Amino acid sequence: MSLSNTEKLLGIMAQLRSPDGGCAWDIEQDFYSLIPYTIEEAYEVADAIERGDLDDLRLELGDLLLQVVFHSRIAEERGLFDFEQVAGSIAEKLVRRHPHVFGDAVYQSDEERKQAWEQAKLEERQSKRSAELPDSVLDGVPGNLPALVQCEKIQNRAASHGFDWPEVLPVFDKVTEELEEVRDAWESGDQAHIQEEIGDLLLVAVNLARHLKVNPEIALRESTKKFSARFQYIEKHVQESGRDLRDCKLAELDALWNQAKQALKKK
C-alpha cells in the first residue's frame, strides 16, 4: 500500500532529522531557530492570496505546512507531542468552538456567535492558567505579533467585555483629539512625547477601523501597495526624462503623483 502524502511528508522530515544520514542543517534546528522561517512562510501565503496566484498559494501552503511538520518532529523527538496530536488538538478545538454546527446551540445573530466564540476562547485560556497568576481578558494575545495586529486583537478583547464606544462618531472625535495632541507634542520638541502621542494616534486609528469593520492590517498593506505603485510611476517618468528624482522640484513630483493617481485608477 502506498503512503498518503501526509505520511510521506512526515517520513521525509524524520529522515532529514535523523542523525544517521540526515541533513546537517535540518538536524541543528530547534523551535527558536525556526521562528523567522515560520513567520516568513505565513506572510508568503498572505502575499500569494493578495496577488490572486492560486498556483503559488498551493506551493506556499505546502511551505507553511512544512513548518508545522518541522516543529512537530522536534517535539516528537523530545517526547512532547507529535503531528497526530497537533492535528487532533485543532480538530477538538474546532468542534468545541462550533456548537451550532456540531451541537445543539443556536445563535440569533453573527454578533451572538462572535460573543460565544470569545467566551469559549476565554474559558480555554482560564483552564490553562496557573491558579496563582492573575487572570485578564487580554491573556493569550501573543506579544510578538506585528503591532497593528496585536493592537486590533487587544481592542477586540476589551470590546467584547464592554470596554468600547457604543457608536462610531465619538471615535472620529477621538482621532481629531489625538491628532491635536501630536501637534502639541511636536511643538514642544520633546521627541519621547512625540513618539508617545503618535502611538496613541495609531491606536485610536485602529479603533476607528474596527468600528468601520475594516481590517487595519489589510487596509494599510493595500495603501502601501498603492503608494508603491504611484511612486514607481513617478520614477519611470522621471527616468524617461533622463533625470534623477533628486533633480526634480517637489511641485513637479506632486504633479506626477496626481497624474499617477488618475492613470492607475483607470487601470
Q: Name the residue ranges covered by the structural domains of the chain.
A: 5-96, 104-135, 136-214, 218-266
Percent of the chain scoring above 70 in pLDDT: 94
- Res 228: pLDDT: 94
Element (H, E) at 76: helix 54-77
Can you tell me the distance from the alpha carbon of 82 to that of 88, in angstroms, rounded to the nearest whole number?
A: 10
* In the block, residue with C-alpha cell 497593528: 148
Q: What is the mean pLDDT of residues 236-263?
A: 91
**pLDDT exceeds cutoff 70 at 128:** no
The string of pLDDT tens digits covering residues 178-222 is 999 999 999 999 999 999 999 999 999 999 999 999 999 889 988
Identical topology for domains 5-96 and 136-214: yes
- Res 91: pLDDT: 95
- Res 174: pLDDT: 96
Can you tell me the distance from the alpha carbon of 3 to that of 38, in angstroms, rounded to the nearest whole number?
A: 26
Q: What is the mean pLDDT of residues 101-114?
A: 84
Q: Which CATH class is domain 136-214?
A: mainly alpha
Backbone angles phi, psi at 78, to 5 degrees: -90, 0
Cβ distance 164 to 179 under 8 Å? no
**pLDDT exceeds cutoff 70 at 1:** no
Q: Which residues contact 217 (CB under 8 A, 6 or more apart)?
A: 146, 148, 149, 152
Percent of the chain scoring above 90 in pLDDT: 66
- Res 267: pLDDT: 60
Cβ distance 238 to 205 under 8 Å? no
pTM of the model: 0.65
* CATH of 5-96 among 1.10.150.670, 1.10.287.1080, 1.10.240.10, 1.10.1660.10: 1.10.287.1080
- Res 133: pLDDT: 53
Q: What is the mean pLDDT of residues 12-26?
A: 96
- Res 136: pLDDT: 80
- Res 266: pLDDT: 64
CB atoms within 10 A of CB 46: 15
Q: Which residue has the higher pLDDT, 49 or 118?
A: 49
Cβ distance 155 to 206 under 8 Å? yes
Per-residue three-class SS string for 124-151? HHHHHCCCCCCCCCCCCCCCCCCHHHHH
**pLDDT exceeds cutoff 90 at 105:** no
